[in-house]
Structure 1
Amino acid sequence: MLAISGVLNVTMGLILVVLFHLDVSGVAAATVIANIVSSMILLYRLTHMDAVIRVDLHELGVDLLTLRQILRIGLPAGVQSAVFAVANIIIQAAINSLGTVVMATSSVAFNIEIIACYVLNSFGQACATFTGQNYGARQIRRCRRVLGVCILEDFIATAATIAVVLFFGRGLLALFDATPEVISVGYTGLVMVFSAYTFSMLYEVMSGYLRGFGISLVPALLTVVGVVGVRITWIGRVFPLHRTFEAIMIVYPISLAATAMFIGVALLRYRPSKRFAAKPFTASSRTD
């Protein structure tokens, strides 16, 4: 469904922009259409599959206890993701102050960075899912294995993705803007951001591991401190003294290293695999 949505998005975008000259509104309309089509196909599949996972629309309802558990884990996880957007707005404001070339470079580089970012984040999500499943099945030893496997696989997949992106980086940047200055500055930005991905990988997987045990608020709060706190402080105190693109981008590895360290300390502090190993599993066990 994602593949269909992606192809439809690009195709409709070209049709609406090139043939109907709708510009930005055409791109937006193509995205909405692609999402609607893929959602409808998914809904059809869910309502027509076998009895094990089939969705009956007539039986949909809200269980308040389940809703409370979902919100307890989901809201902090959502805040944890949202703080990156807040921090990036602050960084983007600093980048914009350096002029149009740097601003264009940042926009172009972001479209390439996101490729590796999606690969990296997927293992953190997988870690939360498999940890939660094994915790629910009282297979605590497997939870520890999930953490190790996800870190190893995430490192390999992310490293491979970064290597490919950096190898073709200048060519990819040229697809968006062939200006030599934009390509040079953009490639420098890619290298600096990717240097932070080792810390980001550890942070995402460890956070997912804690969320799998229902510990969601702690990593969210530590992310606010490590990401938003460090970046605001850096942009407010250090950047005014060194107004360069490199001075801005170095905050990525610094902030993510701090966040990974905070999450690592929390993991050692909570030791959820031992904390919950001797406890019987109940709904109240999944708490911060």
Structure 2
Amino acid sequence: MLNGSIADKFLIFALPLAFTGMLEQLFNTADTMVLGRFVGKSAMAAVGNNAMPISLLVMLLLGLSLGGNVVIAQRIGAGNEKRASRAVHTAIIMSLFMGAILLAAGEALTGLIMNMLGVPAEILPMAELYLRIYFLGLPALAIYNFESAIFRSNGDSHTPLYSLMVVALLNIVLNLLTVVVFDWGVAGVVGATVIANYVNAAILWRKLRHSESYIRLEYRKLRYAAKELKEIIRIGLPAGVQGMIFCLSNLVVQSAINSLGADVMAASAAAFAIEINVYCFLSAIGQATTTFIGQNFGAKNIERCFQITKIALLSELAVMLFLGGLTTLFAKPLLGIFIQDAWIIELGVIRIVYVTLLQFLNGVTEVLSGTMRGYGYSTPPAMIALVTICGTWIIWVYTVFAAAPAFSTLLLTYPASWAITGAILFVVYMRYRRRLLSRFVTPVIA
């Protein structure tokens, strides 16, 4: 990451991240498919009711682990083995602590969560059972997220992907075994997920124990360093809170979609299943930007940092236009995988055109946010994204959509919010870029 060409290394690093994201989606889809095929719609509804609290927790862990990624990458870039090791062991301690806290809080608050979600009485026992068992896997999920961040900070995006490939197959086998053979229903599916999460965390733990680089995990060094801990929280917490608030704000948009009827709801769900896989590539480019910037900023190579941002923006534009165009071209057959109704497929195409095809606009936000996080400048981009994206969604639903309640009108809120946020972030980034130039006396390629 610190020397030689950038573009080829950037894409080689980003692609495994994208495939990891897609595999995680397949991980969740397999659970739903097994429940729908062998248990029934009540079980699927019970799982669906828990999607929101689970998403909030996952977003918090992802954000905090991103803080670990940045801090470790900066130490590695600076060639400071001692501080890199401190950051690695601090991140591991933090993951253990977060996992334990979230497990205890989750189990204590499950009943309250069920009440807040207004879960129907007929599926309440299954929904509560699913969530309680899922919470048992939170320590493993927390450790896995931080372990993956540690590998990424060292330029290794392949190891977490290979581990997830093994675990995804294990999860499918356990799903079929617990549901088809033992008839454990919802408990079997979520239990399989918990086991798979612990196996995943154990594989990466072993890899860290045997690493020959700065990220080697040693039990005698397992203690937190106050400075590194503070940095991880300062960078990671805004990103985690941002993701959580995005989830909550999206409820407003989903409510508006629900108001348009069952056909629109089904079409939107089918299109989203395709859209989220395309977004995995965009998210991967953002994460790659953060890691590359982190290492080179640690090495005080500001000129190279600026080049990385340019390459990331160009990569995002090329990749997302290609994938968006390809998805739009084959929208109907792709939607046909999920639904057979011709009218619902037509509605699904609308979402793909307005959201997936225009996803490249969101790329400016992802890349510039990733860039500034790599510098350790995390709070401003998070606050801008929260105010502009979430604000646009909420205002749009209650003004533009309220005046013209059509599916296409509602979906326009996504590209509109991305364009506004990207423009504001670009201005903020350029101002921060000038501050960097004033700090580092280096010949810079504009």
Same fold (TM > 0.5): yes
After TM superposition, the structure 1 = structure 2 runs for residues 27-46 of structure 1, keeping only pairs within 5 Å, are: 27-46=189-208
Percent identical pairs in the alignment equals: 37
After TM superposition, the structure 1 = structure 2 runs for residues 223-242 of structure 1, keeping only pairs within 5 Å, are: 223-242=385-404
Which of residues 169, 173, 178 in structure 1 aligns to 2:340?
178
User: Where in structure 2 are there 5+ consecutive unaligned residues?
Assistant: 1-162
User: Where in structure 1 are there 5+ consecutive unaligned residues?
Assistant: 280-288
Corresponding residue for residue 277 of structure 1: 440
Farther-moved stretch of structure 1 (44-53 vs 225-234): 44-53
Task: Please say if 1:75 is aligned against 2:237.
Answer: yes
Moved over 6 A (4+): none
Which of residues 355, 359, 363 in structure 2 aligns to 1:201?
363
Quick one: which amino acid aligns to residue 147 of structure 1? T
After TM superposition, the structure 1 = structure 2 runs for residues 1-40 of structure 1, keeping only pairs within 5 Å, are: 1-40=163-202
Whether the aligned pair in 2 keeps the contact of 1:86 and 1:228 (CA below 8 Å) is: no
Whether the aligned pair in 2 keeps the contact of 1:195 and 1:253 (CA below 8 Å) is: no
For 1:164 and 1:5, locate their aligned partners in 2 and report how far apart those are by CA, in whole Å: 30
Whether the aligned pair in 2 keeps the contact of 1:230 and 1:255 (CA below 8 Å) is: yes
Quick one: which amino acid aligns to residue 97 of structure 1? S
After TM superposition, the structure 1 = structure 2 runs for residues 213-228 of structure 1, keeping only pairs within 5 Å, are: 213-228=375-390
Which of residues 424, 436, 439 in structure 2 aligns to 1:262?
424
Task: Please say if 1:157 is aligned against 2:294.
Answer: no
- 3-state SS of the aligned residue for 1:177? coil
Corresponding residue for residue 292 of structure 2: 130
**CA offsets, 1:95-145, max 9 Å, x none?**
111111111222221111111111001111111111111111111100001
Q: 1:55 to 1:149 in 2, by over 3 A?
A: same
Farther-moved stretch of structure 1 (195-204 vs 15-24): 15-24
**CA offsets, 1:50-70, max 9 Å, x none?**
364321123211111111111
**CA offsets, 1:198-252, max 9 Å, x none?**
2111110011111111111110111111111111000111211111111111100
Corresponding residue for residue 407 of structure 2: 245
Q: 1:101 to 1:29 in 2, by over 3 A?
A: farther
Q: What displacement does 1:18 show?
A: 4.3
Q: 1:75 to 1:275 in 2, by over 3 A?
A: farther
Q: 1:27 to 1:101 in 2, by over 3 A?
A: farther
Q: How many residues align?
A: 279
Whether the aligned pair in 2 keeps the contact of 1:132 and 1:213 (CA below 8 Å) is: yes
Task: Please say if 1:106 is aligned against 2:268.
Answer: yes
Corresponding residue for residue 133 of structure 2: none
Q: 1:64 to 1:147 in 2, by over 3 A?
A: same
For 1:39 and 1:146, locate their aligned partners in 2 and report how far apart those are by CA, in whole Å: 31
Q: What displacement does 1:263 show?
A: 0.5
Q: What displacement does 1:167 show?
A: 3.3
For 1:5 and 1:158, locate their aligned partners in 2 and report how far apart those are by CA, in whole Å: 29
For 1:6 and 1:23, locate their aligned partners in 2 and report how far apart those are by CA, in whole Å: 19
- 3-state SS of the aligned residue for 1:83? helix
Farther-moved stretch of structure 1 (166-175 vs 142-151): 166-175
- 3-state SS of the aligned residue for 2:399? helix
- 3-state SS of the aligned residue for 1:138? coil
Quick one: which amino acid aligns to residue 404 of structure 2? H
For 2:307 and 2:295, locate their aligned partners in 1 and report how far apart those are by CA, in whole Å: 13
Quick one: which amino acid aligns to residue 252 of structure 1? Y
Task: Please say if 1:90 is aligned against 2:252.
Answer: yes
For 2:259 and 2:188, locate their aligned partners in 1 and report how far apart those are by CA, in whole Å: 30
Provide the TM-score with structure 1 as the length reference.
0.89
Quick one: which amino acid aligns to residue 244 of structure 2? A
For 1:89 and 1:206, locate their aligned partners in 2 and report how far apart those are by CA, in whole Å: 26
Q: What displacement does 1:12 show?
A: 3.1
Farther-moved stretch of structure 1 (237-246 vs 249-258): 237-246
Q: What displacement does 1:155 show?
A: 2.0
Corresponding residue for residue 210 of structure 1: 372
Farther-moved stretch of structure 1 (77-86 vs 11-20): 11-20
For 1:46 and 1:158, locate their aligned partners in 2 and report how far apart those are by CA, in whole Å: 33
